Amino acid sequence: MERKYEHIFFDLDRTLWHFEENSNKVLRDIYQEFGLQELIPTAELFIDHYKRINEELWVLYRENKITKDTLRWKRFGDTLRCFQLEDSALADRIGDYYIYHSPRQTELLPYTREVLDYLHGKGYKLHIISNGFEEVQYIKMQESAINHYFDVVVLSEKAGVKKPHPYIFKKALKLAGALPVNSLMIGDDFYADILGAKRIGMDQIYFNFDQEQAPEPIRQEIRCLSELMSLL
């Protein structure tokens, strides 16, 4: 039987590149490097506050309500403010440190390399569609040595819109020479990846690493990337 898919589109952050692990490591380094222990009792407390604030700001960024630059310094400025420290110069320096070091971390989700090897070996064309910042996404793929697996990499900044906007998916399909019917999207973000792909008629696999309750019925779900080796 002829197989259905020829093109597999992956999200990058939290799907292949282990965003949580890599980010936590750099945040722990920041806590040490910038002497934050004088101010904040534990690194975990700093990380918890930062994450909550960063998530809220990312929602605004995704809705185009704040710019990338604002997101970058404000997330640290607001975090320091939770601990009664008002220091925008320090927030800027921490923001720069984070942007430099975080994409150079190389932790991948379990089985990333095995699965990419497997799919590549089976002749699937592999691609990336990501909402991450342009200057860091290529570094992440290079540093973690997975860039050679992908034919087409489409990033939201170049596309001009972010997932789940249909245009970014259409652009990726066009560049890859793919059609919705022979393509599959795999990602961890229900809204951006799964609904986005569904909207243009692409099949989707929801990578539910954190085992969250999906807000609506989904076509297919995996808890570990290794499951792809029996599905595809």
Interface ranges with Mg ion (CB under 5 A): 11, 13-14, 188-189
| 153 touches 16 (CB < 8 A) | no
If the CB atoms of residues 13 and 169 are measured against Mg ion, the closer one turns out to be 13
CB of 14 to Mg ion, least distance (A): 4
If the CB atoms of residues 91 and 189 are measured against Mg ion, the closer one turns out to be 189
CB of 83 to Mg ion, least distance (A): 29
If the CB atoms of residues 34 and 111 are measured against Mg ion, the closer one turns out to be 111
CB of 40 to Mg ion, least distance (A): 28
Q: How many CB atoms lie within 10 A of CB 171?
A: 18
CB of 128 to Mg ion, least distance (A): 11
If the CB atoms of residues 91 and 168 are measured against Mg ion, the closer one turns out to be 168
Three-class SS of the chain: CCCCCCEEEECCECCCECHHHHHHHHHHHHHHHCCHHHCCCCHHHHHHHHHHHHHHHHHHHHCCCCCHHHHHHHHHHHHHHHCCCCCHHHHHHHHHHHHHHHHHCCCECCCHHHHHHHHHHCCCEEEEEECCCHHHHHHHHHHCCCHHHEEEEEEHHHHCCCCCCHHHHHHHHHHHCCCHHHEEEEECCHHHHHHHHHHCCCEEEEECCCCCCCCCCCCCEECCHHHHHHHC
CB of 67 to Mg ion, least distance (A): 21
If the CB atoms of residues 128 and 200 are measured against Mg ion, the closer one turns out to be 128
CB of 6 to Mg ion, least distance (A): 23
If the CB atoms of residues 96 and 134 are measured against Mg ion, the closer one turns out to be 134
Residue nearest Mg ion by beta-carbon distance? 14
